[in-house]
Chains A and B, each alone.
Chain A
């Protein structure tokens, strides 16, 4: 029984470790383009700001003339002149 409990604990620990990988991958090119994999719904979108939900994190892209080059299943390519990227935990949000 003890052995089984130890195995179960190990699996839970492994699940926690893999969680950040499942939530997404962000790739930013020098010059302004960015690619985001594992993205969720878009929460805000205008010329200067784009907010995307990825699992437990909200990513805010700030810049000017922001456009989404392509947007499919959990994958997004952003163009424009990026100035700042902010990561925000959803749990921290009031």
Chain B
């Protein structure tokens, strides 16, 4: 308490006092002689009001007793009294301390994510990938988890050439560099490369192995185009791995059937969404009505909660569902024809992904129940494939 009264001398705290009694003038003179400074003295019958520094109030007791006057405090002003008022309410101070403690303790919680130089269209997908790896607002983040997520996302997508995740004081900073498209390196095979179909050789490009065909030669399916072994002049066996392409002119026929009536799982138009709260690795479903049957999981969206623009360490994951039922679909003739053509082309490009079509001839036959599509095509493609 001694220190408190000594400290008060340095605070500009003031008191307005009301002095009343038989001899207030004598009291005033005694106080001034004792070194008390008065200000704004205004008289009233039988006394006066004045302002004094708060720390000098205790020196009024003795003169007041001697002069038989009554001293009353009318008003207290100054920062010291305000602090004292706060001191009497420890809950406020405790709340402040508790808040500081919580903020310090929750530094490992993910509060917000910042994307640096990541285009807006890529962000939702990246956010979902991060959430899938356990990095969402409200997650308890550790360094191994961040590094693991970095590796997992780089493996999942080829969009990013480099992905950097840095977590510090509740904020995850995501940086990336786009991937550069590299030409595919041709594979070295430890076997002969043979013709995939009967063809006329147009071009050859051998990087390794021994070429066993020439330009303009007709080859049959299964003929060796690039060989692995060869005998030299001394009849010694030379072995080399094979690599290269042989472009040939191939004639092929494809046939596809498209029924006019078919049974397929179709969307009914009913969409359903469920919400769940994510916090520190725990997930709790928000209450809602019961979902109908036959739902198929669709997109998932995870977003952090915000309060008046401030990010909170909580996430809400919304799952979207769609209802699908098996229905009998009646196709119109034009659609059926298009689907049959599409199926033929899909077969063609599955066999020869690099095919260049020189000529094509479509033949479509229709009966009551189905469409039959025949494709006769002359194409240019790599016909060298490893021997099985």
Contact = CB atoms under 8 A, between A and B. Distances in A.
Interface of A: 40-47, 66-73
* Majority secondary structure of chain B interface residues (helix, strand, loop or mixed): mixed
A45 B41 CA distance: 10
A85 B379 CA distance: 127
B41 A73 contact: no
B280 to A, nearest CB: 64
B24 A45 contact: yes
A21 to B, nearest CB: 21
B25 A71 contact: no
A75 B42 CA distance: 17
A71 B41 contact: yes
A67 B37 contact: no
B28 A42 contact: yes
Shortest Cβ-Cβ A-B pairs, 10 listed: A41-B29, A68-B41, A71-B38, A72-B37, A67-B42, A42-B25, A70-B39, A46-B43, A45-B25, A42-B28
B38 A70 contact: yes
B41 A43 contact: no
Contacts of A69: 39-41
Given A41-B28, A45-B43, 20 more contacts: A41-B25, A41-B29, A42-B25, A42-B28, A43-B25, A44-B25, A45-B24, A45-B28, A66-B43, A68-B38, A68-B50, A70-B37, A70-B39, A70-B40, A71-B37, A71-B39, A71-B41, A71-B50, A73-B32, A73-B35
12 contacts: A41-B25, A41-B30, A41-B32, A45-B24, A45-B28, A45-B41, A46-B43, A66-B43, A68-B50, A70-B38, A70-B39, A71-B38
B33 A41 contact: yes
For chain B, the bracket of interface size reads 10 to 19
A67 B41 contact: yes
A46 B47 CA distance: 8
Contacts of B171: none
Contacts of B30: 41
Contacts of A45: 24-25, 28, 41, 43, 48
A69 B26 CA distance: 18
B181 to A, nearest CB: 86
